[in-house]
Each structure stands twice: as structure tokens, then as C-alpha cells.
Amino acid sequence: MDAIARSVPVGVVGAGTMGAGIAQVAAAAGHEVRLYDAAAGAAETAVETIFQRLARAVDKGRLLAEEAEDAVSRLHAVATLEDLAGCGLVIEAVVEDLGVKRALFTGLEAVCGPDAVLATNTSSLSVDAVAAELAHPARFAGLHFFNPAPLLPLVEVVSGEHTDAAVADLLVATAQAWGKTPVRAASTPGFIVNRVARPFYGEAFRLLESGRVDAATIDALLRESGGFRMGPFELADLIGHDVNLAVSRSVWEAFGRDPRFTPSVLQERLVADGRLGRKTGGGVYAADTPRPEPATADPVPAAPAAWAGAGGVDPSAPGWSVGTGEVELRPTDGRTAAQHTGGGPRTVVLVDLALDTSPARVGIAAPEHAPKEHLEAAIGFLQGHGYAVTVLPDVPGLVVARTVATLAAAAADAVDSGVATAEDVDTAMRLGTNYPRGPYEWGSALGWDWVTGVLDALAAADDPGRYRVSPRLRDRATAGDGWRDDAEVAERDDLARNAAEAMWSADAASRALGMAVEQVSSGTAVVSMLVRPDMINGHGVCHGGLVFALADSAFAVACNTHNRRTVAQGADVTFVAPAHEGDRLLAVADERHRGARSGICDVTVYREDPAGLETIALFRGRSREIPGTLVPDEEET
């Protein structure tokens, strides 16, 4: 598909910072540009600002004088919307108000010819919602530039439900002709960048709200160890907390207040107090005082001689370990150092993820009551390898690892939801947010099993809803994970079936409802139930409580397959679709995390249908072990 010809005029509505920047880009690309703003004199002022900006670029040697003069000659402030008649492309960059945008495009549709393409630069509103009142929505799409538009290369080309594929192709080609890097996105909340980037801020604020890690330390770790250009608090202070919070709230509301996107209470307080960042003299950091230093361990004596042959450290990847008989360094996998250490006697010290190839700083955590000499041995060993060491509290996922894992999960969710391809997601995050690497690429490199492991550990320790792992992400993590029909697996599954049979034989309530165990293996179970006439409520559908009971029974079977008596500690269920009399339901349970005494198990309830399986309900249960076994194990015999 060819780009819009240079001979075709381009209209821009809205003469603020973004509109003026888009007008400059289009004019520099060779188009006549007509800039309109409803506020008297605003378009003329914007054109003059563009003139000055181009002149400065010439003075700095970034632009030839002839190029600047040509661009200036093509820029025109116009007085009415009707002056945009004859434009082949009109881009809107007005206030983020749905009513205002709808009214504007209704007026543009009446003015512009039938072949003109209409585009919105919205960053947070649904493209479909903006186009809802158009007679011809096929020619409408999103064209989301990033500020400042003349400098930042990324453009999100957003297709609505009715956008013609040829229109999207035209906009992609045009963005490329204008020197930009376009990515394609579907019209979903936040598109790519504003959706996937939420955990970068969300996890940082969550750690800060806990009171266990300070802002300067979080920023330093993500910058010096994670390789990010700026830490999340530095960046939010620069952007403005009012702007950052507005995006967070918009995405959260658009997703039905999904806990994955819950805005920070602390950031809401900053905005309420007028502490918006640099533009108000202070936000997380005060503008008139030196920025606090990050927590850094004092130098300690070199590691004992026993560490001499311990080898090197690679904090950029999971799966390594170094140490002695008393102390072992391991990369974090989401679990705490206390969970890794267990009853000892060796102390496990966890090392945070470091994405920079030569990090200046690494974070570590030890169990709360670890011997001082064990922690100092680990610090001395790392300092001997040239690292500044930050000792963190023993929190799940530490700082960089939990940030990267949640970013990778958000990227995978965007891909799985059809928002964009993995390549476009990574391109958008590198160019739109200056991430050192695309988050989907991170997930692939670190291993999706590692990503889900970190999320499962966070879910077990904190918030199961916020850190839930989607079924598609779980499938990605378990694909090719080495489950084989070998002797070890067969022995484990034999024990699982024996334990499940023992538990099920004592579960008279489930059997009375006609439930049956269809499949069992270690950590998994499938339980079926036929919806009988006496299970139907007054609305003609199966009682939700019985669907819950089916999911809970599958949950119980899966959690008890390890032959350790396990009971429910809590559960959440979401009903997706109704079940009716005669339906055969299948509850498929899969244990996602099992710690020392607790675990998480996800259950999906399906309705069997000739065309396949239809999801009825999604259930997440939290379990805890109690003393005893279901069948005698080797220790007891």
C-alpha cells in the first residue's frame, strides 16, 4: 500500500503541543498542512511556534535552511472547519473528551470528501467509541503519536471494529513515509504502550506503599540494574502524576476495574495534594532538596577463602547458583529467601534480576533472621565482583524481577488478546517508553515458566487477582516443559491417584451431586457433573453455588494429590456463562503454585458442546496443608 501522496493536503485539528507537533511532522514530509483550532488565534500561535522550532533546528545544524523554509511555506492556520475540505487526511488532537471528539468528527464527515481518511490521536479513548456516530466508520482509525511528535519515532495505528483494512494499511505507509515507526494495534484500552507499561509504575508504587523499600532505591535498581533510562518515580515526576494517574485510571475503568490495573492510592494522594512532579516543584521527590541516595551496603571484608572457587555470578538469567556449604547465592524466582532456605542449615541469599549486561548495582535479600556473617559473606563476594550491593527486605520478586515479570505478562496478554503482534508490542515499548528490551522478548529469553513462577509467588503472598496468570500464558509456560511418561512421573501419578481416591471416597457430598473424578495426575484433576432438574434455579439455569461446588471439588482433588492433607483457605469465582439442565460440566483444576504449606490452584469449568468446550466459570482457590496424609507413604511404612 502506498502512502498518501505529498500533493494531498493534510488537516490537523487542535493546535496544542501535540497538534502542532503533528502538523510540523506532516509539513516536513512535504504536505500542505492546514491547522485549525476552535480557540481564536491558537492556530496562528502554533504556526509561529513551529517556525521558531524549525529555526532553532537550523541554527543547531539539524536541518537545512531550505528544508525549514519549504516546511514553513506549507503550514497554514485556517479559521474554520470548512477550510479542511479537500484534505485527504485529517488528524484530530483535541481534548480527551469523548463528546467533544464525536461532535468534531461528525462535523468533519460533513465537510470532508468521501475518500478522506479521518484519524484520532487519542491515547486513552476507544477508537470505536469515538467513531460510534459516524455514518462511514470504515474510513476512521486511530493515529497515536507520542509527545514530542517531531522527535519520538513511534506511532500506533489503531484499527476499530469497522476500520477498513486498506485505511489502516494507508496510515502505516504514511507514517513510514513521514519518518516514523508505525505499529498496528486493536482498539482496546491503552492500545499497546499505555496498557503494557502499567506494571512499571504499579509495582514500584506497591513496593513504596509497603513502607519496606524507599523510592530512591527502587529507581536506582531499575535504572542501574534493570537498564531502564529512568526509574518509575523519576519518570512519573517528569510526566506529571496527574497525567500518569489519569492513564492508569482510564485503563483500570475500561477493563472493568481489573485488579491488575488498580491505580496507586499513594499516587492518588500525591495528585490530591497538588504534588504533581517537576511542574509543581515536587512529586515523589522534592524539587528544592538533593535527591536521597539509594540504600547501599557498606564495604565489607572480602569473601572468605571458601568462596574462592565459587565461580561467577550472572544476575541477568535464572537457573544459576554459587556458594559454600553455609551460604548460597541464587537468582530470585519470586519466592522469598526464607522459602528457599527452609529449615536450613544453609542460608540462601537471593539476587535480584539484572537486565543490564554490566550492572553497576544488584539487589539481594536474605531471610530475616539469617546470621549476620552469612549476609556479609554474600555482600563481600558480590562487592568483590564489582557490584554496588543493595540489601532489600525479603519480599517476593524483589524489585527488578517482579517488574520485568509483570511487564512480560502484560505483553503476553496484549498479544494473546489480539491487541498487537509480539514484534509490534516489543517495538512499541522500546520506542514509546525507551525500555532497554521489549517485554515479550524478555519473557521469551527468561522463560515463560520463570515469569509465571514469579507471578504465582506474588499471588500466593499478596493478591491473587492482581497477579493471576492467564490460561494462555500458562499454556505458553508449560509447553514443552518436560512432562514425560517416564518411571518418575508414573510413580508420582500413581500416588496422586491413590491419594485422590482416598479423599474422594470420604466426600459423600460431592458424590451425592453426581460428581465423578475423570482424570488425576500430580497437581491436576478433572471432575465432571451432569446438571439435573433439581439443580435448576428460578431463572432456568444451574445454581451458581453448585457450579462453585464442582470447581471446589476439583480444586480439592488436585491439591490433595501430593498425599498431604490440604484444605481451602479461600477462593474467588467468576461466572462467565450459564449452564442448563442436561449440560455435562467439566471442572479442570491445575495447581499453579505450591509453597511450604500453601498453594494456589486455578479451575476452569467448561460445558461440553458438540462444537467444543464453552467456559462457564473461572475459579481460583488458595490452599493450606494440615497435618497428616491420605494414604500411607514411604516414610510411614
123 carries an active-site annotation: yes
User: 600 phi and psi, to 5 degrees?
Assistant: -130, 135
Contact between 583 and 542 (Cβ < 8 Å):
yes
Burial of 388 (0-12, 13-18, 19+ CB in 10 A): middle
| Separation of alpha carbons 587 and 171, rounded Å | 46
β 584-594/89-92 pair status: unpaired
DSSP annotation of 63:
S
Nearest-Å Rg of the Cα atoms of the chain is 29
With the CA atoms of 395, 222, 419 and 11 taken in that order, what torsion angle do they form, in degrees rounded to the nearest 10? 150
- Determine which one of 31, 109, 121, 144 is catalytic: 144
SS3 at position 234: helix
β 33-36/598-609 pair status: unpaired
- Determine which one of 121, 126, 194, 248 is catalytic: 194
Please report where in the chains the cell 539539524 appears, as a residue.
Answer: 62
SS3 at position 38: coil
Closest CA to 382 of 482, 302, 278: 302
144 carries an active-site annotation: yes
- Determine which one of 31, 32, 121, 123 is catalytic: 123
Other C-beta atoms lying within 10 Å of the C-beta of residue 310: 16
| Separation of alpha carbons 72 and 78, rounded Å | 15
Bridge partners (DSSP) listed for residue 118? 90, 140
Q: At what angle do helices 17-28 and 65-73 cross, to 10 degrees?
A: 110
| Cell numbers describing residue 355 | 537486565
Please report where in the chains the cell 516514523 appears, as a residue.
Answer: 180
- Determine which one of 109, 156, 328, 591 is catalytic: 156
| Separation of alpha carbons 166 and 569, rounded Å | 53
Start-end of H helices in 224-299: 232-239, 241-254, 265-272
| Cell numbers describing residue 143 | 493515529
Dump the DSSP string for 96-114: S-HHHHHHHHHHHHHHS-T
Bridge partners (DSSP) listed for residue 235? none
Other C-beta atoms lying within 10 Å of the C-beta of residue 232: 26
Burial of 120 (0-12, 13-18, 19+ CB in 10 A): buried
- Give counts: helices (H), strands (E), the chain: 22, 19
Active site residues: 123, 144, 156, 194
